[in-house]
């Protein structure tokens, strides 16, 4: 595994407290040092990314883990907003959702999601999937500089 120069900043957009806790635990137990920022809904994602209000000092994340089914603004709308904003459109977005509907998969890739992952129900598989996503985006993919 290559040496990691600095921590990776990950924005987790997840409205389920249980799924958020599991995802954060899996990321923290992985081999990669990271900073995790958690938001609860789509509007909060955009405020974080655009450094608005309480997020005026937010970091630009290296990676976004985005749930599709969130309150106030769903993940599809968030993805559309991200990809239409020149300042944030290059940030990789991994859709992490319970939906295995072909329509959701097709629409997410049509909106330029970088990956689409259905959350496994089994906790061991869930941890393995989250850690492999993290490993892939840090050690395999070359991320754009901030």
pLDDT digits (tens, 9 = 90+) for 93-135: 999 999 999 999 999 999 999 999 999 999 999 999 999 998 8
Most confident of 6-15, 43-52, 122-131: 43-52
CA-wise closest residue to 20 among 59, 67, 56: 67
DSSP class of 59: P
Indicate the pLDDT class of residue 40, thresholds 50, 70 and 90: very high
Distance of alpha carbon 52 from alpha carbon 16, whole angstroms: 23
Using the Cα atoms of residue 30, residue 46, residue 75 and residue 112 in order, give the sign of their dihedral.
negative
**Any residues with CB less than 8 A from the CB of 128 and at least 6 apart, and which?**
120
Indicate the pLDDT class of residue 1, thresholds 50, 70 and 90: very low
Distance of alpha carbon 26 from alpha carbon 48, whole angstroms: 22
Percent of the chain clearing pLDDT 70 (strictly above): 96
CATH of 8-139, one of 3.40.50.2300, 3.30.70.580, 3.20.20.80, 2.30.30.90: 3.40.50.2300
């Amino acid at each position: 595994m290559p040496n990691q120069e600095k921590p990776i900043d990950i924005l987790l957009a997840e409205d389920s407290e249980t799924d958020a806790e599991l995802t954060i635990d899996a990321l923290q137990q992985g081999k990669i040092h990271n900073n995790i920022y958690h938001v609860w809904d789509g509007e909060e994602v955009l405020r974080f990314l655009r450094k608005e209000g309480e997020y005026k000092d937010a970091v630009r994340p290296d990676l976004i883990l985005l749930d599709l089914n969130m309150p106030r603004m769903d993940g599809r709308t968030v993805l559309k907003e991200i990809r239409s904003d020149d300042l944030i459109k290059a940030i990789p977005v991994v859709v992490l959702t319970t939906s295995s509907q072909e329509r959701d998969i097709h629409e997410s890739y049509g909106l330029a999601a970088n990956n689409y992952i259905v959350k496994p129900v089994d906790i061991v598989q869930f941890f393995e999937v989250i850690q492999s996503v993290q490993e892939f985006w840090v050690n395999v993919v070359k991320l754009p500089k901030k």
